[in-house]
């Protein structure tokens, strides 16, 4: 079974882990890179790193990012030098960014750099940046425009979101590896990630929607359960942008990209509304509390359709 999973942030990463635990699944994780940033002269790819660390068993599960039991000697030294320290990099994490930056400086694409790093960590799943081209999510707020990580980390998601802009998106393209993974997929899954800033930048890439529509089974998993996001700013962001904060509201955003839409049992009353959109609602326990939950949900998604 060939599965192409679109992921960004905690929810999509957990589901990627679930698929990676299943036998007879050839997994390609297509990862958002519009959250990337340059810091201390290094190229940092938070969503890619979260997938790498999670699938390699290295993730700090309490925070959902970074390496478990990491140390922060370099971070403390950056502070002494007066460097910006609002984005914390652990020492092991720093090695990841330094390796990526070196590979990119030698002319390696982000796709090939990620593949090299995944192989070094012993991963059998393919981790595919959505694009090798530079694009950056900018959050338009009452405090002015903020690059995504500034909004998310430095300002702790506090400014009210008035709009989202993706700089460079018109000149960016999905990589050939991404298009091939989608076209060859038996199942395409849109993970339970923020639809605006995690999935949205990938769908905005020219040619991405057309490729997705060529896959017969296109299953999405709602990131909103009971009117709330389990983690992150998705609920507040949807509300401030004028979207309904519910599983039905997110299904409406994706529209015809979905053939099936998974909602948690909590939201069973929304099923008729979702069905009226031309999308088949699927009721499951969609909360991934444990590793076993992740594998169970991934297995249930394979059985849809």
pLDDT at 259: 97
Q: Are 59 and 50 a contacting pair, CB within 8 Å?
A: yes
Please give the pLDDT value at position 169: 97
Pairing type for strands 224-225 and 37-39 reads unpaired
Instruction: Flag residues of the chain having pLDDT under 50.
Output: none
Looking at the DSSP bridge assignments, the partners of residue 126 are: 28
The answer for 168, left when phi > 0, alpha when psi is -120 to 50, beta otherwise, is left
Set out the domains of the chain in order of their start, with CATH numbers.
2-137+169-302 (3.40.50.10680)
Q: What pLDDT score does 62 carry?
A: 86
Structure pTM? 0.96
Q: What tokens were used for 34?
A: 């519009």
**C-alpha distances in angstroms, 216 versus 28, 146, 250?**
17, 38, 20
Greatest pairwise CA separation for the chain in angstroms: 59
Q: Round to whole Å and give the CA distance between 47 and 35.
A: 7
Q: Read off φ and ψ for residue 18, nearest 5 degrees.
A: -60, -45
pLDDT of residue 63: 87
The Cβ of residue 70 has, within 10 Å, a number of other Cβ atoms equal to 16
DSSP 267: G
Residues contacting 96, CB < 8 A, separation 6+: 49, 52, 117
């Amino acid at each position: 079974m060939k599965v192409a999973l679109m992921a960004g942030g905690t929810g999509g990463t957990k589901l990627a882990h679930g698929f990676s635990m299943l036998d007879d699944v050839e997994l390609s994780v297509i990862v958002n890179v519009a959250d990337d940033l340059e810091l201390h002269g290094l190229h940092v790819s938070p969503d890619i790193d979260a997938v790498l660390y999670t699938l390699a068993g290295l993730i700090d599960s309490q925070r959902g990012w970074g390496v478990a039991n990491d140390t922060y000697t370099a971070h403390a030294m950056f502070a002494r030098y007066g460097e910006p320290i609002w984005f914390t990099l652990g020492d092991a994490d720093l090695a990841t960014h330094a390796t990526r930056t070196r590979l990119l400086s030698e002319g390696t694409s982000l796709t090939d750099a990620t593949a090299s790093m995944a192989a070094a960590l012993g991963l059998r799943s393919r981790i595919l940046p959505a694009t090798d081209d530079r694009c950056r999510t900018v959050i338009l707020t009452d405090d002015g425009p903020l690059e995504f990580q500034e909004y998310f980390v430095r300002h702790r998601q506090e400014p009210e979101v008035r709009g989202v802009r993706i700089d460079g998106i018109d000149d960016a393209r999905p990589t050939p590896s991404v298009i091939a993974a989608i076209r060859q997929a038996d199942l395409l899954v849109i993970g339970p990630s923020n639809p605006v800033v995690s999935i949205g930048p990938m769908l905005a890439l020219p040619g991405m929607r057309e490729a997705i529509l060529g896959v017969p089974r296109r299953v999405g998993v709602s990131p909103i359960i009971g009117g709330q996001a389990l983690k992150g700013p998705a609920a507040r962001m949807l509300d401030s942008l004028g979207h309904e904060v519910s599983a039905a509201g997110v299904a409406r955003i994706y529209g015809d990209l979905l053939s099936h839409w998974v909602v948690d049992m909590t939201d069973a009353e929304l099923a008729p509304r979702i069905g009226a959109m031309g999308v088949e609602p699927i009721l499951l326990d969609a909360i991934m509390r444990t590793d076993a939950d992740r594998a169970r949900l991934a297995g249930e998604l394979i059985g849809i359709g």
